[in-house]
Structure 1
Amino acid sequence: MRCHYFEAGRCRSCTELAVPYPQQLDAKVRAVQDLVRAPGLTWLDPVPSRERRFRNKAKMVVGGTVAHPLLGIQAPFAGAGVVNDLRHCPLHEEAVEAALPILADFVRTAALTPYDVPTRRGELKHVLVTASPDGELMVRLVLRSREAEARVRKHLPGLLAALPSLAVVSLNILPAHAAVLEGAQEIVLHGDTLTMRVNDLPLHLRPRSFFQTNTEVAAALYRAATSWLTERAPATLWDLYCGVGGFALHAARALPRLAVEGVEVSAEAIASATRTAQELDLASARFVAGDATTLVPATGPVPDVVVVNPPRRGIGPDLAAWLEQSGVGTVLYSSCNARSLAADLAAMPSLRPVRAQVLDMFPQTAHYEVLTLLER
């Protein structure tokens, strides 16, 4: 894949762009297999991705001026506050790219002053856009304060007319001068949820909920996990770090008698998962907001299967120790970091990896997802 931003030196986020895609995928598989080893472990063929137009979300830093806003990234080596405009990044899905010029126009119309990092002045820090498989959009404007809220509300009807695919519009308030993407306060102005239809399952995404960046590969991940679980026909399942319920809801739909409990620290994600379960009449699927590390050991009888999908740091020593001594017979571990996965596996020697598969969620980078089946 060629990218004029990369070739001009305006963006280096795609660190592997110069490497032919088949070689990228081979390198990821080798890197994961070097870290995750076990006697008798079967590696399935990796799941490739489209090389371009696979990102369902854009996380754009805002720079420039009200009259000439820039949507992109901090310019490497150019000093704080310098933003390179990347609104035509070839990784973004078409619906995302098409929305960015309209959102730049809205910055001008609503007089949203881009935040300037060196002077710590201005209001608009980031524009976050997510596209559903149906072409609907969620747009979140990350502001320093609520100063611009009235102007955004005033001009919102015009934005909805210009971008009729908008399902959700919100303001996120990030007062701190910090290298983070969003703050704790969310003000929803339009809609409430973006429906991510994955394998014909309506997963609901609220503004502060996490969803995988690559919808097609996420769908393949859920299909693989569901297939592996169906082979074992468990009666009970816990989905830890469940997000909006992707693993749990796929399993509950495939196995109608399966009792499912999902645990996730985000209350918004739990509300989304619960909504899908209610819409599909999956009465045996229950979702709870809480920290899996502290909540799970006190939950009661252990299930037949535990699914874990932690952040890059992994599940950590406490949860790994509990799983090791719990007696759980099967663990399905979805990881975006084979180093933390390997550390967690070393802390659970009674749970042996028997099957694994690399799924290329992030082409043009060294990142990936790996799904591993563990049996006691």
Structure 2
Amino acid sequence: MSALPSLSDSSTATPEPGQTLPRWKAGEILEITITDLSSTGDGLGRWDERVIFVPDTVPGDRVRLRLSHVKPRYGYGNLLELLSPGPERVRPACIVADKCGGCQWQTVGYDLQVAAKQEQVKSALERIGKFEQVPLDSIIPAPQSLGYRNKVSYPLGFHKGQVQAGYYRKGSHRIVNLNQCPVQDVRLNPLLAGVKLDIQDQAWSIYNELDHTGALRHLGLRIGRRTGEILLTLVTASDDLSELSEQAAVWMATYPGLVGVCLNYNSQPGNQIFGPETELITGEASIREQFAGLEFVINATSFFQVNTEQAEVLVEIIKRELNLSQTETILDAFCGVGTLSLPLATQARAVVGVEISPATVAQAQANAEINQITNAEFMVGDMATWIPAADWHPDVILLDPPRKGCDPETLACLETLAAPRIVYVSCNPATLARDLDQLCHQGAYELIKVQPLDFFPQTAHVETVAFLRRRN
């Protein structure tokens, strides 16, 4: 019987078919061929009947790896050597793609990226959602695969006497220092490179997440793709930033498009980027953006899709599928700043948006007023408690929840509204499938259409919109 290769034996003879492998262990070295991409972005290969997940690999790659973690039927490995590249492997646009955790698929050809995302949605709906026949349309690729992000938030660090800003290294909280990023709007690159040098010159303290000392935690940048307006936000654990107003004025004079500098306070330990309080230092507290034929005002912490152009495609798909006749009432259950509901309001009788954040609701209402939309109302509330008190039955429910999806109680409450149609927008196929299972197999809805869209090129993330119709 062939033994699995060990650290002292790098031979990689494949076991004979039907043979039982002995127990494997972390540290052993294997050679495998990568055959698939997982939903987490890792390459996936097989050793006999076992599955191995290997980051930074592409289908067709022949690789040597060291097992890092094993279970009886699957394991995880770290790439030691690319023995031969697969046909879908491409040269990354990013010079630190092998280190940075911001993108998983810089080395994966774009056609394969979108094919993998299509399969990811299909697999989730079949396995988790228990749909035997998925009404799945072909994924819509992004208009551009680089330079598309309109918002970035970079953790700040201090290493060898230098202020750093960038994304975390893969699997760690060590920062990969960046001066530019190929997936963000190119107009943000000068600010990423320059602002951290000014932070260094000002000798402002950098937050240490181990002992919770220091001030500055994140550098946030947001740009209106159509207007070019930029908002700079520093996230800090304290207000111990001398001469901030003076430095902010210098930034305003230095960087074209910069309309405002804000300070967000977050003293809580953990991974949440923004805190509840934002202070305007100079300029404007929001940027303007032209979106779906309307003008939107967006502040530092508001949710707005990071891919403006693809979000407009999503809105057009929803408009086309709903085919509204100005007689319908719409409930936007996670309304944000009105990104979905306001473009639909022009074709509906009335829109009601609900959001848990008072500041976001105020901004949604302001966006309605800017566009002279009088049939849209926005209110503060949690859906699970707001719905039971609502004495109306909308014709359409829009759902665009966070990545975690909807909780069962919220979905059960939504069922009581008996809306004829539901539109569910999701950035997580797994939680989408779980929630559709409850709505369709346990509830009164049937799944009519599923449309994936690539909002996040170079990553394993995918956006999906599902259309549901109430039975009878």
Q: 1:83 — aligned with what?
A: 175
Separation (CA, whole Å) in 2 of partners of 1:113 and 1:170: 17
Deviation at 1:102, TM superposition (A): 2.6
Contact 2:315 2:343 in 1 (8 A): yes
Secondary structure of 1:339's aligned partner? helix
Q: 1:313 — aligned with what?
A: 404
TM-score (norm 2): 0.74
Q: 1:230 — aligned with what?
A: 323
Structure 1 residue ranges, 4+ long, deviating more than 6 angstroms after superposition: none
Secondary structure of 2:311's aligned partner? helix
- Amino acid across the alignment from 1:63: G
Distance 1:142 1:277, change over 3 A: same
Q: 1:279 — aligned with what?
A: 370
Deviation at 1:234, TM superposition (A): 4.7
Q: 1:340 — aligned with what?
A: 431
Q: Is structure 2 residue 456 aligned with structure 1 residue 365?
A: no
Separation (CA, whole Å) in 2 of partners of 1:167 and 1:343: 42
Contact 2:354 2:382 in 1 (8 A): yes
Separation (CA, whole Å) in 2 of partners of 1:282 and 1:169: 29
- Amino acid across the alignment from 1:22: D
Distance 1:17 1:234, change over 3 A: farther
| Superposed CA RMSD | 2.2
Distance 1:281 1:14, change over 3 A: same
Q: 1:22 — aligned with what?
A: 111
Q: Is structure 2 residue 100 aligned with structure 1 residue 11?
A: yes
Q: Is structure 2 residue 450 aligned with structure 1 residue 356?
A: yes
Q: Is structure 2 residue 278 aligned with structure 1 residue 168?
A: no
Q: Deviations over 1:45-81 (max 9, x none)?
A: 3221122111112211112379732211234477x6x
Contact 1:141 1:171 in 2 (8 A): yes
After superposing the two structures, state which structure 1 stretch, 58-67 or 262-271, moved more: 58-67
Q: 2:167 — aligned with what?
A: 73
Q: Is structure 2 residue 260 aligned with structure 1 residue 131?
A: no
Deviation at 1:162, TM superposition (A): 0.6
Deviation at 1:346, TM superposition (A): 1.7
Q: Which has the higher helix share?
A: 1
Contact 1:25 1:48 in 2 (8 A): yes
TM-score (norm 1): 0.91
Q: 1:42 — aligned with what?
A: 135
Deviation at 1:313, TM superposition (A): 1.5
- Structure label with greater radius of gyration: 2
Separation (CA, whole Å) in 1 of partners of 2:106 and 2:170: 17
Separation (CA, whole Å) in 2 of partners of 1:69 and 1:125: 11
Secondary structure of 1:371's aligned partner? strand
Deviation at 1:283, TM superposition (A): 0.8
Separation (CA, whole Å) in 2 of partners of 1:197 and 1:344: 32
Contact 2:118 2:138 in 1 (8 A): no
Structure with the bigger RCO (C-alpha within 8 Å, sep 6+) is 1
Q: Is structure 2 residue 294 aligned with structure 1 residue 201?
A: yes
Distance 1:4 1:307, change over 3 A: closer
Q: 1:96 — aligned with what?
A: 188
Q: 2:413 — aligned with what?
A: 322
Secondary structure of 1:187's aligned partner? strand
Distance 1:313 1:269, change over 3 A: same
Q: Is structure 2 residue 147 aligned with structure 1 residue 53?
A: yes
Contact 2:94 2:106 in 1 (8 A): no
